[in-house]
Chain A
């Protein structure tokens, strides 16, 4: 299979959908020059009516996408910075997401929102480092976060074809990663988790940018004689409860490795699902390695106390397998 970078695969998915359906168009800040790289070459290939550079008006252009979608288009909105989701929040969750329900199920609102370079990168500090997927999931918005180039393309295509609003988080930590990508037209379906590595002693549920570190942790544990299974939910809403619970029932131990804040974060939801549905199988308390509940600080000296670290994951996994409950 050919190897591609995550960002290239995502772009290929977008381009294929634009070729396939002339209702698909892109709008966002600096998308013609493609500061983020997702839309590179699309303005040259598809022209002005398919690629719109917007003013810095996130709430406004998010609202336009909603109206265009009800009128039959399939807009793809790019947010250049993760925290811009907050600026557009009413138009996202109170309008695009609620309208179909409030209208009694009339119409469809097929908008795809791509949160580019989501999560933290060194030195970008408090307002450029967020990973607010739990907020969107909380409000019922379909939300995905691919961890591999293959899924980056497949989920981009699936999101664009979905007849509902879908948010895609494209974590900055993954954009340059290389991996195998199948040829041709394929979709990664929403609502299906990926088993990134099979194992039998312990389940690690790892989200988005943390999946590569979780796999490394599983390698280390294997050397210690512990067989860890790594689940990459990739579709955060709908969440594939079956794959998650099957794994936990098999291993009886679960550590959640999540890049969102701790309180009411995504890991809290997974913990609750496991406690509700797999309590009898648990042989150790559910453990969470998450962000601390502060903004991401600027200094590199500080961020190890804030961001979920592979070292803490490894410690949590070791502690989990030591627990005994008869």
Chain B
């Protein structure tokens, strides 16, 4: 099924929002308004956008440490995201999660995750619940090429296949697990070939082409909704920036400038608006302005938001509480 004109414009808005969100986040990290470090999704925007636009609000995703893009694409509110990154009370997690744990269960976002691959079985569990309840909802597990060698990911793929769960495994192959090239970490270079071991269909798509990602995901989501079971999409993509914000300071050299430059030529944020303009679908500059305003407002919202009270740190661990639980450290 082809995307509608509205969707095609929506893809750009979403990708632009992710790119500019990440660039603004880096500024805030550099100014110490965001404490710690974050993992930027710069370069990979077409993947989250294409996948999440093939889902409904009732569908579930699990994300990764590089999660901002997935969350924005699934409908996450930039105001509450920036507030979380700034550790505010109004943040998605009330300041208890931060960049690697943003979640919005109401939007089907079962959390970014700080442990590589750990969200994959959790997505499968949601799919198990949907199947048990004869619901047509589906789940998507996002993970990277780094997670393709993590045991629990393979356990989850096998479980999903033996029980034919409505889940789509989305492998974002950006070529590197931190500094480790997938060329050195897997004898099999086409990561979608791994799916055959579990008996599910798989394909490899151009992860810099939002329409290709969207079309592939739409077909596999429809298949899962109809009871066709799990499937696997490998999206070939690239991060234009370091593994995390602090990487520049480490002076790491694991990619050539030429390699980065070659991938930059395929930057969806550069190429896609040209296509949109040729098709006379919208004026991208207009979208850009709207995105800037939205992010300005989100940052202002976060800056104005209260910090949580220190004692809030002991709240929220248990749904059912008891005297003395959780124990205090003094």
Chain A residues proximal to chain B, CB less than 8 Å: 25, 49, 52, 54-55, 57, 59-73, 75, 90-91, 94-95, 99-110, 140, 142, 162-164, 190-191, 237-239, 241
Contacts and interface: CB of A to CB of B under 8 A. Distances in A.
Contacts of A64: 121-122, 124-125, 128, 156, 159
A70 B158 contact: no
B320 interface: yes
Interface stretch (B14-22, B87-95, B286-294): B87-95
A67 B122 contact: yes
A54 B104 CA distance: 30
B254 interface: no
Contacts of A241: 324
A163 B320 contact: yes
B103, B104, B158, B162, most chain A CB atoms within 10 A:
B103
B130 A103 contact: no
Interface stretch (B49-57, B64-72, B215-223, B311-319): B311-319
B124 A63 contact: yes
B228 interface: no
Contact of B60 (A71, A91, A142): A71
A105 to B, nearest CB: 3
Contacts of A99: 103, 111
B132 A104 contact: no
Given A95-B113, A103-B92, 15 more contacts: A25-B132, A57-B155, A57-B158, A60-B121, A61-B155, A64-B125, A67-B129, A70-B122, A70-B126, A71-B130, A90-B152, A103-B101, A107-B105, A142-B318, A238-B325
B156 A104 contact: no
A66 B123 CA distance: 9
Interface string B154-165: 011011001100
A196 B211 CA distance: 68
B265 interface: no
B317 A100 contact: yes
Contact of B115 (A57, A90, A164, A191): A90
A61 B155 CA distance: 8
B122 A66 contact: yes
A106 B129 CA distance: 18
A94 B319 contact: no
A90 B113 CA distance: 12
A64 B153 CA distance: 11
Nearest to B315: A105
Contact of B319 (A49, A57, A71, A108): A108
A71 to B, nearest CB: 4
Contacts of A109: 319
Contact of B125 (A59, A66, A94, A106): A66
A94 B111 CA distance: 13
Q: Which 10 pairs show the lowest CB-CB distances between chains A and B?
A: A67-B125, A63-B121, A60-B155, A105-B316, A104-B93, A71-B129, A57-B155, A104-B94, A64-B125, A163-B319
A100 B319 contact: yes
Given A57-B155, A102-B93, A105-B315, A237 B325 contact: yes
